[in-house]
Amino acid sequence: MSALIDGHDVALFDLDGVVYLGPEPVPGAVAGVAALQARGVRAIYVTNNAARPAQTVADQLVTLGFHATVDDLVTSAQAATGLMRRELQPGAKVLVAGTQNLADHMTEAGFVVVSGADEAPDAVVQGYDPQMTWPRLDEAAFAVQNGARWYACNTDSTRPTERGLVPGAGVAVYAVQVTTRVEPIVTGKPFRPLMEEAMRRTGARNPIFVGDRLDTDIAGACTIGIDSCLVFTGVHGKRDLVEAAEGFRPTSIAWDIPGLFRPARELHVDADGVHCGDAYVTAPGGVARIDGDLSGHERQLDALWALARLVWDGRASEYEAALGDLNAVH
């Protein structure tokens, strides 16, 4: 059987929860990416985090053991800058609610960075900033209420770390949104600007996006119609997958990056249920039931993939016990 990665020329990776968790690489990620590159598959890192310069992120990847250059990074700050260049006049005044990296992008693009709403900015651009303060959010809200065009680099509600989840950039974006009742123009995943920038930069013919979040990584892949793989080393887990709405569903799943070298999971649907590997999932009376060997996470992922298909097809409405059987998957 062919490997999941076969036929793909570029692998687009999310960072947090897929490649690394805080200061440490995800187990198997360094070797997995190196093996992909040895096969001629280009590895590109696509991140919603606009806080740090691409070179800093590339240097971190190298320190962790990955082979990466700044050209292998595509960030939401870069996507925001590109979109704003197309939509704003040169010399437009921009209030930055983000880090110095985001402000530097604006300056390099020919915009004038201002610090307060009283300076009548033409636009506000907002990105993740661990040092964000309420007064700075106040200025962003005042500017948006005064008519400034509002760009948000991403709206991730959480961010995975080695200690657990922490609030993401979307929390600060939401604070401005509920205050102003204005919807931002979002440039990061799952929206088109960042995804299309990644495609343009790589010239990929048949890419696959590997991510840990359905609402950003997988939805972004769905938005532009490319293959995607959900891995279980970060935010989203088995329940999220089974309950995913159309437009948020991956075309494949794997435990981690090395899972891309395992055979692609094949589903066989019959009148009673769905087969995947040794697992057979049925739903007598609408209640999901898993039969087969569930030892180890790979067999449990087979069963989960079959269960997801059964639920997505509307054939199983009760699946709590089935999810409980998959105790090796978070």
Which residues are part of the catalytic machinery? Answer: 14, 16
β-sheet bridge partners, residue 166: 159
Give the Cα-Cα-Cα angle 279, 280, 282 (nearest 5 degrees).
Answer: 145
| 227 three-state secondary structure | strand
For 43, residues 6+ apart whose C-beta sits below 8 A from its C-beta are: 10, 11, 13, 33, 36, 37, 66, 68, 72
Cα 112 → chain centroid: 31
Cα 165 → chain centroid: 15
Q: Are 316 and 293 in contact (CB under 8 A)?
A: no
Q: What are phi and psi of 65, to 5 degrees?
A: 115, 0
Q: What are phi and psi of 76, to 5 degrees?
A: -70, -25
Q: Are 270 and 264 in contact (CB under 8 A)?
A: no
Encoded amino acid at 87, one letter: E
* Cα–Cα distance measured from residue 172 to residue 156, given in angstroms and rounded to the nearest whole number: 10
* Cα–Cα distance measured from residue 42 to residue 147, given in angstroms and rounded to the nearest whole number: 42
Q: Residue 236 gets which letter from DSSP?
A: -
